[in-house]
Amino acid sequence: MEAVTLFELQSSLKEGLADLFPERIRVRAELASVQVKAGGHCYIELSQSDSRGVIAKARAVIWRSIYPQIAGAFRQATGSDLKPGISILALCQVNYSELYGLSLIISDIEPELTLGEAELRKRATIARLEKEGLMDAQSQLDLPALPRNLAVISARDAAGYGDFCRHLETNEWGFSFSLTLYEALMQGESAPESVAAAISRIEDECAEGLAGPYDAILIMRGGGSVLDLACFDEWLMCAAIARCSIPVMTAIGHDRDVHVADMVACVSVKTPTALADALIDAFALEDERLSQFGTRLRMAFNNRLAEMERSVDRLQHRVLQAFAGKLLLQESYLDRMAERLRAADPRSVLARGYALVSDASGVVRASAAGFSQGDALDVRFPDGKVQCIVKNVDYGK
């Protein structure tokens, strides 16, 4: 058998496709990814799925010369941007390159087919939840300010779950959390039933006292394609979340992803790491609040102590003033008493020209009565004492 070169093979395929599709054709497919490059070209990955999963993929491009018109017309007609998950009906030119293989050059997108099957199911789920009054059921639950005892629904080996655990365990404050993993499928057709079963198991174990009580249930999954994450828009899972008696916190996909599971949950954040941050921040804020409370308490105590010290100082000042006043009064009283004592001092009397007479036994005699001739007596003057003998006693003279 004669061999052909790769270029010859590719050239033959190119010619064959050109002969097979000489005109533009209408292709129905789902947008798996949409990227608008800095140069203005829009690069698209088209896909088709059935019950087996993805069964076909192809690369497509909308050149920058027509992309704004196509995107604007699509948005105006459907109210939606070109984004993953939307099924489109595109007018394409089949193109084959010896270097890059098959690609489709899109020249127009017909707006009649606006949303892919996944988006239609998502809208149907939202409508049913709203009809049954379940959209806001979780928002009525009281999530503890400091959720610590947590039930986690995830695949054990999922990267997002691993990132969440590491981030939580290595927090700089050293806060500790209690995590209990309930394994479930997190993508594919069986994921909604698996997650709903995990929620039911958690509630049953809590009711029977076998686990919990849990402050919250965490449902988390890292990023993935739109088709991988479509399960989080399914009715079975979303209804189980909405009806759960325990607050549910979700962290599903990347920043660009918003799922019905997020919409019905009590709390929703973008990624598992962001969920870990939210839990840590709750404790950090409480720790800061308590620290500030302690600071305010110390300040209040110090202010109260300073006021008490000022009161004691004022009281001490008043006591000292009162004591000084009382002391002055006592000193004045003592001065008067001293003056009176000095006035009553016999020496003061003698100094005024009087004399003090006492008998031989030393008894002061203030009268001539009782003296007899020959009695001895002492007469005291300011400058000395004279001993005398009574010569005669005359009364009334």
Supply the pLDDT for residue 117: 62
Q: What DSSP state is assigned to residue 364? A: B
Residue 349 has a CB neighbour count (10 Å cut-off) of: 14
Supply the pLDDT for residue 225: 64
Supply the pLDDT for residue 134: 96
Secondary structure class of 166 (helix, strand, coil)? helix
Q: Tell how many helices (H) and how many strands (E) occur in the chain.
A: 10, 13
**Interacting residues of 200 by C-beta distance below 8 A, sequence separation 6+:** 240
Beta bridge partners of 183: 154
**Whole-number Cα distances in Å, 124 to 49, 121, 160, 175:** 19, 5, 28, 42
CA-to-CA distance for 117 and 114, rounded, in angstroms? 10
Supply the pLDDT for residue 23: 93
CA-to-CA distance for 151 and 180, rounded, in angstroms? 5
Angle between helices 117-131 and 235-243 (to 10 degrees): 30
H or E stretch including 288?
A: helix 272-344
Would you give the end-to-end CA distance of the chain in angstroms? 189
Supply the pLDDT for residue 43: 96
Supply the pLDDT for residue 116: 59
pLDDT by residue, tens only, the chain of 397 residues: 789 999 989 899 999 988 899 999 999 999 999 999 999 999 999 999 888 888 999 999 999 999 999 999 888 876 668 888 788 899 999 999 999 899 999 999 987 665 556 677 888 999 999 999 999 999 999 999 999 999 999 999 998 999 999 999 999 888 999 999 999 999 878 999 999 999 999 999 999 999 889 999 999 998 776 657 888 999 999 999 999 999 999 999 765 668 999 999 999 998 999 999 999 999 999 888 877 766 677 777 777 887 888 888 888 888 888 888 888 888 888 888 888 877 777 777 777 777 888 888 888 887 888 788 888 988 888 888 888 998 888 876 5
CA-to-CA distance for 228 and 233, rounded, in angstroms? 11
Supply the pLDDT for residue 234: 94
